[in-house]
């Protein structure tokens, strides 16, 4: 089975449409969304609707959670707070109803899916370092766990000896002995220095994985954000992938 797994769209409709167009050319059998449909970008409702109709597995991210009014934005930085307050004002009731059907974590075959960490899915922690991943391997039973949240594509592999290493590959295969935590990157707010939308294709037969980078109409996304008077920093960072 071929899966497309993506995360962190952040209301960037242009990036989402570009990724969907790419997915439609790849004979994908199941599409998985790992959270943060909204926040930062200018098209929250349209992105929620597209994700809801496209994906069979749909998770909540921290921005979705706050946008729905389930948590305070007090932990957000000032620019994230401004954008999520704007999102709350824009978000239609139907979008909130759709988001309310999204889940916090899901298991499928030998895959675990969560937005942030399997250790505490609703506390929105980050896995940036080997030490973070080493701890989190204890909180799922599958051989593969897929996450988003940090916007940084990365592969943490734990071998039979218990040692965890961080790998950055565009294509790789599970070796049949190790376990993996795989960050699928971000569609709408890449932060690894590459501004192109990022998502992952997973082949369950043989556990083969490929990161895909998709260019999109960046200027159109920025123009919408500027018109909505969203923070200039959020607009600028799209162009540099940071």
What is the pLDDT averaged over residues 16-20? Answer: 98
Pairing of strands 164-167, 105-108: unpaired
Q: Indicate whether 38 pLDDT > 90.
A: yes
Query: Does residue 22 register a pLDDT over 90?
Result: yes
Task: For residue 106, give both structure tokens.
Answer: 């899901």
The per-residue pLDDT for 56 is: 96
The C-alpha atoms of residue 139 and residue 63 are separated, in whole angstroms, by 23
pLDDT of residue 175: 87
- Residues above pLDDT 90, as percent of the chain: 94
At 42 the pLDDT is 97
- CA–CA separation, 180 vs 176, rounded Å? 10
DSSP 41: S
Percent of the chain with pLDDT over 70: 100
CA separation for the pair 223, 226 (Å, rounded): 5
The whole-number pLDDT of residue 176 equals 86
Mean pLDDT, range 52-79, rounded to an integer: 95
More confident residue, 11 or 242: 11
Distance, CA of 106 to chain centre: 14
**Per-residue confidence (pLDDT) for residue 200, from 0 to 100:** 98
Which two structure tokens, joined as six digits, stand for 37? 């449909």
Q: State residue 169's pLDDT score.
A: 86
* Residue 213, pLDDT score: 98
Report how far residue 7's alpha carbon sits from residue 145's, in angstroms, rounded to the nearest whole number: 14
CB-based contacts of 16, cutoff 8 Å, min separation 6:
9, 47, 50, 51, 187, 188, 197
Mean pLDDT of 95-113: 97
Rounded average pLDDT over 196-201: 98
Instruction: Give kind and range of the element (H or E) at residue 156.
Output: strand 154-158
Tokens of 98: 């759709």
Give residue-wise pLDDT tens across range 124-178.
999 999 999 999 999 999 999 999 999 999 999 999 899 999 998 899 999 889 9
Closest CA to 20 of 187, 170, 191: 187
Between CA 216 and CA 59 the distance in angstroms is: 24
Q: How far apart are the C-alpha atoms of 191 and 240, rounded to whole Å?
A: 8
Domains in the chain, CATH or no CATH each = 2-110+168-178+186-240 (3.60.21.10)
For residue 150, give both structure tokens: 């940090």
């Amino acid at each position: 089975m071929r899966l497309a797994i993506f995360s962190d769209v952040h209301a960037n409709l242009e990036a989402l449409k570009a990724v969907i167009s790419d997915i439609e050319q790849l004979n994908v059998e199941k599409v998985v969304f790992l959270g943060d449909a909204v926040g930062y970008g200018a098209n929250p409702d349209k992105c929620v609707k597209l994700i809801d109709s496209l994906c069979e597995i749909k998770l909540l991210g921290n921005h979705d959670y706050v946008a729905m009014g389930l948590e305070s934005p007090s932990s957000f930085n000032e620019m994230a707070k401004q954008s999520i307050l704007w999102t709350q004002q824009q978000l239609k009731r139907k979008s909130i109803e759709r988001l309310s059907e999204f889940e916090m974590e899901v298991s499928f075959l030998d895959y675990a899916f969560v937005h942030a960490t399997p250790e505490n899915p609703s506390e929105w922690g980050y896995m940036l370092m080997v030490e973070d991943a080493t701890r989190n391997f204890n909180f799922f039973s599958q051989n593969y766990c897929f996450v988003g949240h940090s916007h940084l594509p990365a592969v943490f592999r734990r071998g039979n000896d218990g040692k965890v290493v961080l790998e950055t590959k565009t294509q790789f295969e599970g070796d049949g002995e190790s376990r993996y935590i795989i960050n699928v990157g971000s569609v709408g707010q890449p932060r690894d220095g590459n501004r192109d939308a990022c998502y992952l294709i997973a082949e369950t037969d043989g556990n083969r994985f490929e990161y895909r980078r998709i260019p999109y109409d960046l200027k159109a996304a920025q123009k919408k954000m500027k018109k909505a008077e969203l923070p200039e920093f959020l607009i600028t960072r799209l162009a540099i992938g940071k």
